Structure 1
Amino acid sequence: MIPNVRNAFNKNFKQEYYQKLQLDIEDTFGEPSAFRISETPVFIDATLKNKIFDACNGILEQLSEIDFNKIRQKFIPKSLQSPSPIGNPHFLAIDFGLCDDGKGNIEPQLIELQAFPTLFFYQHFLGKAFLKHYPIIPKEDFYYFFSNLNDKTYVDEVKNVILGNQKPENVILMELFPEKQKTRIDFWATKKALGIEVVCMTQIIKEGKKLFYIKDGVKKPIHRIYNRVILDELLQIKNLKTSLNLNDAVDVEWVTHPDWFFMISKCILPLLEHKYIPKSYYLNEYPSDLDLSNYVLKPLFSFAGKGINLYPTKDIIATIQDKENYILQKKVAYAPLIKTNTAKNSKVELRMLYVWDNSLQKLKPVINLTRMSKGELINVSYLTQDTWIGSSISFFEK
C-alpha cells in the first residue's frame, strides 16, 4: 500500500493534525462525530485501484442482467412492497474487504451491496478536512473523487440526484429520530449543502396522498423524500406511531424507492460471480457437504452488522426457521495492511459509492467511504477502544 507514502505519513504524523480535524467537524456541524474517526486516511496504489474497479464493473454488468421484479416478488413480502413507481436505483454502495491473496498481494473481496444512500456529504467534507489539516498528505498524485469530479462538480452531481427538479423547501431528508442516529453528522452536512430539512418520520403529516412537514410553524408540502429510514430498524420498534408508512400510496418522489433497499443487497450475492466475489449460498439451498468453518452466516435484511455469526454450525442452522432469509458467505481474510503508529496494524473495508446519472442512464462512481479496524468485525458503531481505527476515506493513486 505505497510504503514510501505510508512511512512518510506515519513518521511526520502529529496528534495536533487529528485534533484540528475533530475540532473542524465539531465547529462545522455543531457536535463531534458520533462514530470514531481514524487518525489516517488510506492510500491505495494504482494496481489495487484497477482491481477494485474491475470488480465494480463486473458487479454492475451482472446487475444489469438480473430480473429485479423476480427478486422483488421472492424476497419482499407483499405487505411491505411500495406501490410507488420503482424507477432506477439512485444509489449503490459496494463494500470490499481488502484482503491478502495468499501470494503477498492485496485484492478486494466483496462483502456486501446496498442500493441505499450513505454519508455522501460527510465524506466530501472529510476528504477536504484531511487535506486542510494534514500537510503531510501528498496532494498532487492522489484523489478521492471519481468520474473526473472535483469539489464543486461532486456537490452538483449529488445535489441533482437528491433534489431532482424540486425546490429544496419541498424536499426532505427523512430519518427515524435523526438526532439519535450515529450517522447524523451526514444529515447536518446534507442540510448544510442542499438547504433541505431533516425530518423525523414521526413528524410527517399525511392528508390523503399528500405529505407535509412543519417548518417555522408553517406547513410545507413534501414532493420528494431523500429516504434514510432503514426498514429493518423501523420494524423493530414496537408501538411506533407514524402517519406515513414506506409502503403507502402517496404523491411523492422517492430518492431512492424503498424497495431497492431489499432488491440490491445481500439477497443477490449468491447470484454474482467474479474472482473478487466470495462464494455465497442461500441457507435453504447450500450443499450438505459444505465446510461451515469457512463461511459466515448472515441474515439478508439487517444493518450495522447485526445478526452475523462468524462461526456457524449445523446445530445453529437447524434452529433457524426462515432459512430463505439467510445466506452463507465464504470468509475472507482482511489483511492488516495499514502500518500504524501503534503495536497493531489496521484492516480496511472500502465502500465505493455510486449515484445514478440520468444523462448516461447508469450508475457511476463518485466517492468512497473507508472503515478501519483491528478486530474481526469492521463496524464503526463499535470501534471505540483503540486508535488508528474507525471511519476514514481513501486517496487513490492517479
Structure 2
Amino acid sequence: MIPKYRKQFNEEFSQDKYRQLKDILKQKGGVEPTFRISESPIFLTKEFEAKMIDASESIITQIKGLPADTLQKAIPDDCRVPGDTDQPHFFTIDFGVCKSEKGEIEPQLIELQAFPSLYAFQKVFENTFCEVYPFISEIRNPMPQETFRNYLKELIVGDENPEHVILLEIFPEKQKTAIDFALTEKLLSIKTVCLTKVKKEGKTLYYENDGKLTEIKRIYNRVIFDELNNIPDLTTEFDFREEVDVKWITHPNWFFKISKFLLPLLQHQFVPKSYFLHQFPQEERLEDFVLKPLFSFAGSGVNLNPTQAIIDAITDKENYILQRKVRYEPIFEDINGEFSKAEIRLLYIWRESDERPILLENLGRMTKAAMVNVDFNKKDAIWIGSSNAFFGES
C-alpha cells in the first residue's frame, strides 16, 4: 500500500532510529511504554481511509437508530451504573486490513467500543514518527496539536477546574497503558487516581491531591467495570453502582452498550455477518466463524477455531457471538522481505452537543500472528505491535 512511502521508510529504517523513536516516547511520557512499539508506521491509501470512514458513518447512523431499550439489554444487571447518558463521549471502531473475494484491499469491522483508548499517546506517537522520519509529515493527520488538545480538554475537563477532574483506573502504575495516563496528565493538567484511593462521603467523592482532600466532580473513566470482580481482595470505599455526584466521561454503561453486542445488529459491506451464539442458524458452517465473548477485552477469550464440543459446553450462550472470519492480508513489507498484517482503530470523541462524533486520531496494531495481539507473536518478529496509520495518495 502506497509503495513509495513503504520503500522510502524501509530504506531509511535502522535499529538506531527505532531506539530513537522509543527514547523520544519515553522522554515525552516520563515512563517507558510497556507494550511493544512497532518499528514501522502503517501506510494506507486515502481510498482505504474513505472506505473505513464510510463504514463508520453507516454504523454510527445505525446505532443512533436503535431503540434505547435495545441498548439497555446489553448491560449486565450487576454492572448497571446510575445516571446513564443519551450518548457516549468516546467511540472507537476497529477495522482489519483485509482482502475481498475480488482481490481488493478493504476494511472489515472487527470490534467497536464506547471506551477511551490511547488518545493522548497516539497523537504523541504520530508526532514522534514524523520527528524521526520527517518525510512522513507530508501525509500526517491534518489536525493541529492545539486543536486536538482543545477537543480533549473540552470533552474531559469542560469548564471545571482541572484539580476536580481525575483519570480513574485500578492500579494505574501496573497497567500497560500507563504512558497514556502520564501523557494525559501533561496534556490536560489532571491527576491519575487509583480506584482504591477514592474517598466517599455521602454522594461526594474525594481524592488526596498534594496532601489535600479534593472533591472529584468529573471522572475520565479508564476502569473496565466488569473486570473488578476478577481482582482478589479488592477493597474500595466507592462502588460504581452507587449514586454519586460526579460527571462520568464516559458513563460506564456505554462500555456494554457499544460492544460486540451490536455486531449481529449491524449491516454494511464492510461488516462481517455475526450472530448471537444461541441464535446461530443451522445452515451456517461453524468453521467459517470466530467465537467471541461479548465483553472480553484485548482479545481475551476469543477462539479462532471453535468446535461443536466447545459450543455445546457453553451454558450462557447469550453472552457470546459468532462472527464470520475475515482474512487479514499481509501487505506491510518489512526490511527482511516478510509481511505483517494490521488493524486500524479510529478514535472518535462525541461531544454532548453534537449529533455525530468527531474523528480525532487513529491507532494501528501490526502482527505476523493469527491474532492482532503482540502476545501471539514470535519474540524476534519485527513490524509488530502498536503503530499509527498514515494515509496518502497511491
- What TM-score does the superposition give when structure 2 sets the normalisation length? 0.96
| Residues 330-377 of structure 1: CA deviation (Å, up to 9, x unaligned) | 000000010111252010100001101345332111110000000001
Give the aligned residue type for 2:141.
Y
Q: Which runs of 5+ in 2 are unaligned?
A: none
Q: What SS does structure 1 have at the residue aligned with 2:234?
A: coil
Equivalent residue, structure 1, for 2:197: 203
1:43 equivalent in structure 2: 43
Rate the CA distance shift 1:250–1:35 in 2: closer, same or farther, 3 A. same
> d(CA) in 2 for partners of 1:119 and 1:110?
19
Residue 382 of structure 2: aligned partner: 387
Partner of 1:280: 274
Task: Name the structure 1 match of 2:125.
Answer: 126
Amino acid at match of 1:122: F
Indicate conservation of the 8 Å contact 2:113/2:255, yes or no: yes
1:313 aligns with 2:310: no
1:182 and 1:381 in contact (8 A); partners too: no
Structural mapping, 1:119-268, within 5 Å: 119-135=118-134, 137-140=135-138, 142-144=139-141, 149-268=143-262
CA contact (8 A) 1:144 1:394 kept: no
C-alpha distance in structure 2 between counterparts of 1:235 and 1:68, whole Å: 27
Offset from partner CA, 1:88-118 (integer Å, 9 cap, x none): 2000110000001133321000000100001
| CA–CA separation in structure 2 for the residues paired with 1:21 and 1:2 | 22
Partners of 1:31 and 1:266 lie apart in 2 by 33
Deviation, 1:9, is 1.4
Q: For the Cα contact (< 8 Å) 2:38–2:383, is it kept in 1?
A: yes
Which whole-Å CA distance do the structure 2 matches of 1:311 and 1:267 have between them?
A: 20
- For 1:187 and 1:272, the matched residues in 2 are separated by 33
Please tell me whether the aligned partners of residues 98 and 108 of structure 2 are also in contact (alpha carbons under 8 angstroms).
Answer: yes
Q: 1:180 to 1:383 in 2, by over 3 A?
A: farther
Q: Specify the code of the residue in structure 2 equivalent to 1:23.
A: D
Pick which of 100-109 and 298-307 moved more. Answer: 100-109
Cross-structure match for 1:372: 366
CA contact (8 A) 1:176 1:229 kept: yes
**Matches of 1:165 and 1:383 in 2, distance apart?**
44
AA partner of residue 231 (structure 2): I
**How far, CA to CA, are the matches of 2:359 and 2:127 in structure 1?**
18
After TM superposition, the score normalised by the length of structure 1 is 0.95
Instruction: Provide the C-alpha distance between the structure 2 equivalents of 1:26 and 1:382, rounded to a whole number of angstroms.
Output: 25
Contact 1:173 1:227 in 2 (8 A): yes
Provide structure 1 residue ranges, at least 5 long, that are not aligned to the other structure: none
Moved more, 152-161 or 63-72: 63-72
Q: Aligned partners of 2:70 and 2:123: how far apart in 1?
A: 36
Once the two structures are superposed, residues 172-203 of structure 1 have per-residue CA deviations (whole angstroms, 9 ceiling, x without a partner) of: 00000000001111000100111100000010
Report what 2:9 is aligned to.
Answer: 9
- Alpha-carbon distance, 1:209 to partner: 0.4
Match of 2:102 in 1: 103
How many Å apart are 1:236 and its aligned residue?
Answer: 1.0
**RMSD (Å), alpha carbons:** 1.4
What is aligned with 2:30? Answer: 30
**What letter corresponds to residue 391 of structure 1 in structure 2?**
S
> Are the aligned partners of 2:87 and 2:352 in contact in 1 as well (CA < 8 Å)?
no
Paired residues of 2:79 and 2:225 also in contact (CA < 8 A): no
Name the amino acid aligned to 1:123. Q
